[in-house]
């Protein structure tokens, strides 16, 4: 959904015959969104994509998010989740996600996988955006390979056949945003013909596109399809990576967060300037190292605000975060709507005179309330809400 790509063998028009050796008719596979109204890609395959030899319930998959069952879950408390406390040996990526916060629009998880996916996944529940806090590897998809590494966003469109192949001997730590409606570039970043505007905070060149390889048989015959947090296994007689060509705007990509071009003003601008990707019911923002506000009287630290319409989640990746104390790499803060929030005591005044920040973080503002899971409560810093008292010391 960035722009159009075409690769491999294609007929002159959609929906006319494409033939391979021995006049073998290729099978069209239309990857459409919003019914038939949205972006689409048309792939051409050696085999019909909808024919399965066997099927049944799959044992793969991550748990469906459910609310933590304890007395404080419903309270409007600021929370700090330390995702480094989650097990580092999480299994394959398809099994490794640990949902921490969820709403009807989004599921936020952390995954720390330690082995390759043994099957292909098709996530029918939503678009997946991974922020690679640590690790790297290869995203192998129907439409080609996308290499990724630390500080990359990795995007897998809903329903795309894919699996992850991990770099050896590297610890993996991923923050995962499962957007249950969709993810796209904010409309205001595009001009009338859909090109990214010259004043958008990134360019077409910043996206790492899939390297298309043509048909590939890895020996994997299983696809696991996820819908409504349930998993169905399909067995095939052939490799599903049998695409000979494709054309369209739905494709996987990687985007290095440091390619985001931050804006700075004389005085502090709202977090919308960090907006990077839009999701249904929310905005994904990138905080990257930058010069800060340069009015002679500027307060560079974010101002306290009544966040009545959005929950705020920040995944802290690197650097010294201006407004918060007691958080470190791998921390996730969650500040719920309905109660005012802002910087830690001392941070507001202490920021005066600062000329730059080296913070690196992913933030989400979401417009439906999130709920913590039991896994979130298990890694929660119990002193975080109290750390906003004027006399409090930060937890670390």
Q: In the bound complex, what is the minimum distance in angstroms from residue 200's beta carbon to Fe ion?
A: 23
> Which of 128/312 has CB closer to Fe ion?
312
Q: In the bound complex, what is the minimum distance in angstroms from residue 337's beta carbon to Fe ion?
A: 10
Longest dimension (CA), the chain: 79
Q: In the bound complex, what is the minimum distance in angstroms from residue 283's beta carbon to Fe ion?
A: 12
Q: In the bound complex, what is the minimum distance in angstroms from residue 385's beta carbon to Fe ion?
A: 15
User: Strand (E) positions, 127-239?
Assistant: 127-134, 137-141, 144-148, 152-156, 162-166, 173-179, 183-184, 222-227, 230-235
Rounded alpha-carbon distances, angstroms, from residue 227 to 14, 70, 78, 82, 234: 29, 28, 31, 29, 14
Segment near Fe ion (CB under 5 A); pick from 11-19, 23-31, 173-181, 309-317: 309-317
> Which of 265/339 has CB closer to Fe ion?
339
Q: Rounded to whole angstroms, how far apart are CA atoms 311 and 365?
A: 6
Contact positions with Fe ion (CB under 5 A) in 312-371 = 312
> Which of 171/306 has CB closer to Fe ion?
306
> Which of 43/362 has CB closer to Fe ion?
362
Segment near Fe ion (CB under 5 A); pick from 238-246, 262-270, 307-315, 324-332: 307-315
Q: In the bound complex, what is the minimum distance in angstroms from residue 379's beta carbon to Fe ion?
A: 22
> Which of 279/363 has CB closer to Fe ion?
363
Kindly report the backbone phi and psi dihedral angles of residue 94, in degrees, each rounded to the nearest multiple of 5, phi listed first.
-65, -20
> Of 110, 93, 88, 92, nearest to 101 (Cα)?
110
Segment near Fe ion (CB under 5 A); pick from 51-59, 124-132, 311-319, 349-357: 311-319
| CA-based end-to-end distance of the chain | 41
Q: Rounded to whole angstroms, how far apart are CA atoms 162 and 117?
A: 9
> Which of 41/322 has CB closer to Fe ion?
322
For residue 201, count other CB atoms closer than 10 A to its CB.
Answer: 20
Q: Is 311 in the site for Fe ion (CB under 5 A)?
A: no
Which residue's entry shows tokens 């670390």? 396
> Which of 6/272 has CB closer to Fe ion?
272
Segment near Fe ion (CB under 5 A); pick from 214-222, 245-253, 310-318, 378-386: 310-318
| Residue 70 burial (C-beta neighbours within 10 Å; 0-12, 13-18, 19+) | exposed
Q: In the bound complex, what is the minimum distance in angstroms from residue 341's beta carbon to Fe ion?
A: 6
Paired strand residues for 139: 146, 164
Which residue's entry shows tokens 């899971």? 373
Please identify the residue of the shown chain whose CB is closest to the bound Fe ion.
312
Interface size with Fe ion, residues (CB under 5 A): 1
> Of 207, 161, 172, 196, nearest to 43 (Cα)?
161
User: Strand (E) positions, 58-171?
Assistant: 79-82, 97-102, 106-111, 120-123, 127-134, 137-141, 144-148, 152-156, 162-166
Segment near Fe ion (CB under 5 A); pick from 37-45, 70-78, 306-314, 374-382: 306-314
Q: In the bound complex, what is the minimum distance in angstroms from residue 114's beta carbon to Fe ion?
A: 34
> Which of 176/314 has CB closer to Fe ion?
314
Q: In the bound complex, what is the minimum distance in angstroms from residue 368's beta carbon to Fe ion?
A: 16
Interface positions with Fe ion (CB under 5 A): 312
């Amino acid at each position: 959904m960035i722009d159009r790509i075409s690769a491999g063998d294609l007929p002159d028009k959609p929906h006319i015959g494409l033939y391979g050796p021995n006049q073998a008719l290729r099978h069209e596979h239309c990857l459409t969104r919003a019914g038939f109204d949205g972006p689409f890609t048309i792939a051409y395959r050696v085999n019909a994509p909808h024919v399965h030899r066997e099927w049944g319930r799959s044992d793969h998959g991550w748990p469906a998010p459910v609310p933590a069952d304890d007395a404080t879950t419903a309270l409007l408390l600021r929370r700090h989740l330390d995702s480094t406390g989650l097990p580092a040996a999480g299994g394959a990526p398809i099994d490794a996600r640990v949902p921490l916060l969820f709403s009807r629009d989004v599921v936020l998880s952390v995954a720390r996988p330690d082995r390759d996916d043994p099957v292909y996944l098709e996530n029918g529940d939503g678009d997946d955006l991974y922020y690679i806090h640590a690790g790297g590897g290869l995203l192998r998809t129907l439409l080609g390979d996308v290499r990724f590494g630390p500080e990359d966003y990795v995007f897998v469109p809903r329903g795309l056949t894919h699996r992850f192949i991990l770099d050896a001997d590297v610890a993996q730590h991923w923050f995962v945003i499962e957007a249950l409606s969709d993810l796209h570039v904010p409309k205001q970043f595009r001009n009338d013909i859909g090109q990214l505007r010259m004043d958008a905070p990134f360019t077409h060149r910043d996206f790492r596109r899939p390297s298309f390889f043509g048909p590939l048989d890895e020996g994997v015959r299983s696809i696991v399809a996820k819908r409504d947090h349930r998993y169905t296994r399909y067995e095939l007689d052939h490799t599903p990576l049998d695409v000979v060509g494709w054309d369209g705007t739905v494709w996987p990509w990687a985007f290095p967060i440091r390619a985001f071009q931050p804006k700075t003003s004389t005085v502090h601008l709202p977090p919308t300037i960090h907006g990077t990707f839009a999701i249904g019911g929310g905005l994904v923002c990138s905080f990257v190292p930058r010069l800060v506000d340069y009015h002679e009287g500027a307060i560079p630290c974010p101002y306290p605000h009544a966040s009545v319409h959005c929950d705020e989640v920040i995944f802290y990746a690197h650097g010294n975060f201006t407004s918060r104390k007691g958080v470190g790499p791998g921390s996730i803060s969650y500040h719920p709507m309905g109660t005012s929030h802002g910087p830690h005591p001392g941070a507001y005044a202490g920021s005066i005179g600062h000329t730059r920040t080296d913070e690196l973080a992913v933030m989400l503002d979401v417009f439906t309330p999130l709920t913590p899971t039991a896994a979130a409560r298990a890694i929660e810093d119990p002193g975080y809400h109290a750390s906003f008292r004027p006399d409090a010391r930060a937890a670390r």
